[in-house]
Amino acid sequence: MMAEEARTLTIEITRFDPDRDEVPKTQEYEIQVQDDWKVLDAINYIKDEVDPSLSHRWSCRMAVCGSCGMMLNGEPKLTCKTALSDYDSKLKIEPLANFPIVRDLVVDMDGFMEKFRKVKPWIVRAKERAEDMENLSEKGTFSQSPAQLASFKQFSMCINCLLCYAACPVIANEPEFIGPAAIALGHRYNLDTRDEGDGQRNAIFRGEGTVFSCSFANECSEVCPKNVDPAAAVNQAKLGAVVDWAKGLILPRGGA
């Protein structure tokens, strides 16, 4: 299953300390790597044993916390999920593209957090819970069939790792674009039978810099480590936003 072999690998890593550097530079590290290491193991080895000033984010090392996304030879990847053996001779590690660099491999994700909140990523109900009890079972839960659950489940699997933002050609040119993960999340709630907030979210989706800015590149779905398929969510959200708008035109409105 696993051979006990080590080999030497040269890894290029982006270094940037805003206190000292005007622009990011590259530093090379030549290290012995184990055959069963992930890329993250190599970065941690450098941090622990070679250069403690290297800064990066990580935590769960099992591809679910979403902290350790970086560019590996130009492609956005989770470093804890990517085998080092995928890289024979050269590995270049850079911070995620399309985000400002805070330091070394750490990017500024506050902009993402704001976009994320904009889609109202929570269950919206017309009534307060106390007045909503008739819609709940005696145990206090909503009924939801396995099929209804399946309709949105895939879009609830996003770990917010930001790889899709790093891959998105629209974000690269239009940083204000709300982006694949945020749209997928908003769409996830629109599809949830427990939610009544789709009208509000569709109004957001009809605004500037959201679903209609997407150029169908599909890069987001290709890099997603959790098969969320945000491109599908964006396309479905576009349709939802249009249908909702058309309904508004057709239905009689007060004063009309």
Site for other proteins contains 245 (CB under 8 A): no
Site for other proteins contains 145 (CB under 8 A): yes
Which residue in 12, 111, 194, 196 binds other proteins (CB under 8 A)? 194
Which residue in 49, 89, 126, 256 binds other proteins (CB under 8 A)? 49
Site for other proteins contains 2 (CB under 8 A): yes
Shortest separation between residue 103's beta carbon and other proteins, angstroms: 4
Q: What does the H/E/C string look like for the chain?
A: CCCCCEEEEEEEEEECCCCCCCCCEEEEEEEEEECCCEHHHHHHHHHHHHCCCCCCCCCCCCCCCCCCEEEECCEEEECCCCEHHHCCCEEEEECCCCCCEEECCEECCHHHHHHHHHCCCCCCCCCCHHHCHHHCCCCCCCCCCHHHHHHHHHHHCCCCCCHHHHHCHHHHHCCCCCCHHHHHHHHHHHHCCCCCCHHHHHHHHCCCCCHHHCCCCCHHHHHCCCCCCHHHHHHHHHHHHHHHHHHHHHCCCCCC
Shortest separation between residue 24's beta carbon and other proteins, angstroms: 13
Which residue in 144, 199, 247, 248 binds other proteins (CB under 8 A)? 144
Which residue in 192, 198, 219, 229 binds other proteins (CB under 8 A)? 192
Site for other proteins contains 39 (CB under 8 A): no
Site for other proteins contains 32 (CB under 8 A): no
Site for other proteins contains 106 (CB under 8 A): yes
Q: 178-213 as b/e, with b when 16 or more CB fall inside 10 Å?
A: bbbbbbbbbbbbbbbebbebbeebbebbeeeebbeb
Site for other proteins contains 94 (CB under 8 A): no
Tokens of 2: 């696993």
Shortest separation between residue 161's beta carbon and other proteins, angstroms: 10
Beta carbon nearer to other proteins, 52 or 74: 52
Site for other proteins contains 89 (CB under 8 A): no
Which residue in 10, 32, 113, 248 binds other proteins (CB under 8 A)? 113
Strands 90-94, 101-103: pairing is unpaired
Site for other proteins contains 77 (CB under 8 A): no
Binding site for other proteins (CB under 8 A): 1-2, 4, 17-20, 36, 47-49, 52-53, 55-67, 81, 102-104, 106, 109, 113, 116-117, 120-123, 129, 136-137, 139-146, 148-149, 152-153, 156-157, 159-160, 185, 189, 192, 194-195
